[in-house]
Structure 1
Amino acid sequence: MNVLTVEKYQNLDKQSFNELIEKDIPFVIRDADFGYCMTQWSADYLKDRLGETKVTVHQSMQSMLNFIDKNFLYKTLPFNEMIDKCLNDDQHYYYLRSIGSDRRARDVADIRAQFTEISDDVTIPSFMSICQKTDECRSTQDCHQTGHRQLFSSVFRISSKDLVLWTHYDILDNILVQIKGRKRVVLFPPDNCQYLYLESDKSRVIDIDEPEDLLREKFPLFLNVDRYECVLEEGESLFIPSLWFHNTTALEFSIGMNFFWKDKQLIDDNMYNKSDVYGNKDLNPAVDAFANVDKLVKHLDKMPKKFTDFYLRVIINKLQNKLN
């Protein structure tokens, strides 16, 4: 297992930020100013501003949330009660990942729309060139002409101390902003996917810190991964490139947010799933390819095992040659 440290930077301008983004490797910004929220958001401040606002949260008796086995329940609570439970409930762990307002999940998370009482507290640093549909950019075309990144969603995140979020990947690039508390983040590059025992966009390796002998017994391939690690201090921000797997641990009661944006070329080529409100549905061509793989396997299963295994290996060889 190869462990690498995520590099940290400060005093970035537009050019240096863009150059780092182009490398497609995670990095931390120490001093990006996202507005009033960076200094004023605390448990008491948010309770005062958001009060009885209803939010849907994950509640679990285990610190490691497991989306595959669903070891949690969804609970709808007043915001101030959710904060109190995060801080004081010794029997459960709580995790807020804000969602859109539509009950049928047809809209994206937008802090400005779902939490209007605190929306003015948040601004995106200009050097990131992330369009927020201001007067300068009223459409996707305007974003492209100005060279801005098109904001997809802004996600509010709050969690209990010690809560671990499962390893997964997103289709969109994003910035994770750590406002209160410290958070450990472990990332794995896209080319490590064959070591992560995937189910859809999530890994079946729930405890990535299990002793090596146990991992070797249950998930031996996982020992081949490249781990990029960092601890986000209050006020730091992490760039997470699309398709990079990531796992987070709240080392303290945690308040943060994400900003996701879409890739211009993928928009132009109509590759995003239009029903995706979380930024984690595979691109349209990939979905088509997966469907064809399922058909392929059904055809091969019609033959005796000897022939099925042979043709599977031939196909795997063709795919492997495509990677080389």
Structure 2
Amino acid sequence: MNTCFLGELISECSLSFHIVEVQQSLPIKSLSCKLVGKRPALSLEAFLRDHYLSGIPVVIRDSMDHWPAKSKWNDMNYLRRVAGFRTVPVEVGKNYLCPEWKQELITFSEFLERTRSNDTTSVETTYLAQHQLFDQIQELRQDIVIPDYCFTGGGEIRSLNAWFGPARTVTPLHHDPHHNILAQVVGKKYVRLYSASLSDELHPHSETMLSNSSQVDLDNIDEKEFPNILDLEFQDCILEEGEMLYIPPKWWHYVRSLTTSFSVSFWWSDAEKLDD
């Protein structure tokens, strides 16, 4: 990475950890090609015109300051008080494509303890991933607000999910069928995005259940099996606390937590797709 770009990146992200350490933990070429654009307090008109209709990702700043979650979810005691006794499904292991990956049912208090311990022990990474936690715990649902952007296109919310875990949790390269706003409430995440037009080059799994997931492991790329993968164009970013990332339908994305992280994803459909 050239020094000019490095200086720009540090200023852009206001990283509280050393940039070299971040680079060493990320896939090849990360943060050296094209950064996802960041726009403050993006108007609905501009979002519709510049991103929704054109299918271009964007990071939206300054649109979550009114969320109660912004001041509450950094407090483990608060989370334990409102949700500690509830049972939640968690993922254990690197990610769902790895053979050693498994799922468990544990209390939210136990999950919080594992999250705390992950930074200091060899406890296997435990991730509360794509869980409808807010249907289960109304106190947490009241801490967030559905972004107005999610009503673009006259559709409706299809899914509202929580993503909560320690640093180094990974969601492997995959795509989703709906429009997606990923709201970063606590911590930081690295996100890499590939256009939907590159689907064939990203080698989706042939199994029906995994057909939206790539065979390419960006953390350990097999250049013999996938010789052209490093030549494919992508966009990426570090999603900061208080920022939202718009991911258009079918765009491939890889996500890695850089710190303890609590995110919320909002999926929604266009009006004409409500019957899908």
Match of 2:235 in 1: 228
Where is the helix percentage greater, Structure 1 or Structure 2? Answer: 1
**What is the 5 A alignment of 1:157-172?**
157-172=163-178
Are residues 1:130 and 2:137 paired? no
Using the TM superposition, give the Cα deviation of residue 3 of structure 1 relative to its aligned residue in structure 2, in angstroms: 2.9
AA at the equivalent of 2:232: V
Query: Of 46, 54, 79, which aligns to 2:79?
Result: 46
Secondary structure of the equivalent of 1:121?
A: coil
How far off is 1:87 after superposition?
1.7
> Are the aligned partners of 1:196 and 1:221 in contact in 2 as well (CA < 8 Å)?
no
Q: Secondary structure at the match of 2:56?
A: coil
Q: Is the 8 A contact 1:55 1:78 kept in 2?
A: yes
- Tell me the residue number matched to 1:119: 141
- 2:150–2:181 contact (8 Å) kept in structure 1: no
Check conservation: 1:154, 1:257, Cα contact below 8 A: yes
Gaps spanning 5+ residues in structure 1: where? 100-108, 132-146, 273-324
Aligned match of 2:126: 94
TM-score, scaled relative to structure 1 = 0.68
- The answer on 1:150 being equivalent to 2:156 is yes
Report the CA distance shift for 1:85/1:168 in structure 2 as closer, same or farther (over 3 A): same
Give how far 1:154 is off: 0.6
Contact 1:25 1:241 in 2 (8 A): yes
- Match of 2:116, as an amino acid? L
Secondary structure of 1:156 counterpart = strand
Partner of 1:245: 252
- The answer for the alignment partner of 1:190 in structure 2 is 196
Q: Describe the superposition over 1:215-273 as per-residue Cα deviations: whole angstroms up to 9, x where unpaired.
A: 42231131231121000010011001110010000000110110100122222xx4x2x
Among 99, 107, 111, the alignment partner of 1:82 is: 111
Equivalent position of 2:15 in the other structure: none
Aligned-residue CA RMSD (Å): 2.0
1:32-69 per-residue CA deviation (whole Å, 9 max, x = no partner) reads 12611122212332112111111000011xxx41x334
Deviation at 1:86, TM superposition (A): 1.3
Is 1:13 aligned to 2:43, yes or no?
yes
In 2, Cα distance between the equivalents of 1:184 and 1:175?
A: 15
CA distance in 2, matches of 1:4, 1:173: 21
Work out the percentage of aligned pairs sharing the same amino acid: 26
| Aligned 8 A contact 2:42 2:61 in 1 | no
Q: Which has the higher contact order (CA 8 A, sep 6+)?
A: 2
Which residue identity does 2:137 align to in structure 1?
Answer: F
Q: Displacement of 1:209 after TM fit?
A: 4.5
Tell me if the contact between 2:90 and 2:127 (Cα under 8 Å) persists in the aligned partners: yes
**Over alpha carbons, which structure has the higher Rg?**
1
- What does the per-residue CA deviation read over 1:127-162, in whole Å, with 9 as the maximum and x for residues that have no partner? x2539xxxxxxxxxxxxxxx6331111101102211
C-alpha distance in 2 between matches for 1:37 and 1:168? 28
Task: Name the CA distance, whole Å, in 1 between partners of 2:128 and 2:133.
Answer: 14
Would you say 1:31 and 2:72 are equivalent positions? no
Moved over 2 A (4+): 67-71
Question: In structure 1, the residue corresponding to 2:80 is in which secondary structure?
Answer: helix
Aligned to 2:225: 218
Residues 250 and 257 (structure 1), Cα distance of their counterparts in 2 relative to 1, 3 Å cut: same
In the alignment, is residue 22 of structure 1 matched against residue 53 of structure 2?
Answer: yes
Q: Report SS of the residue matched to 1:15.
A: helix
TM-score, structure 2 normalization: 0.79
Amino acid across the alignment from 2:172:
W
Q: Distance in 1 between matches of 2:115 and 2:108?
A: 11
The CA deviation string for residues 161-199 of structure 1, in whole angstroms up to 9 with x for no partner, is: 111111110000110011111100001111111221211
Distance 1:48 1:150 in 2: 32
Contact 2:150 2:157 in 1 (8 A): no
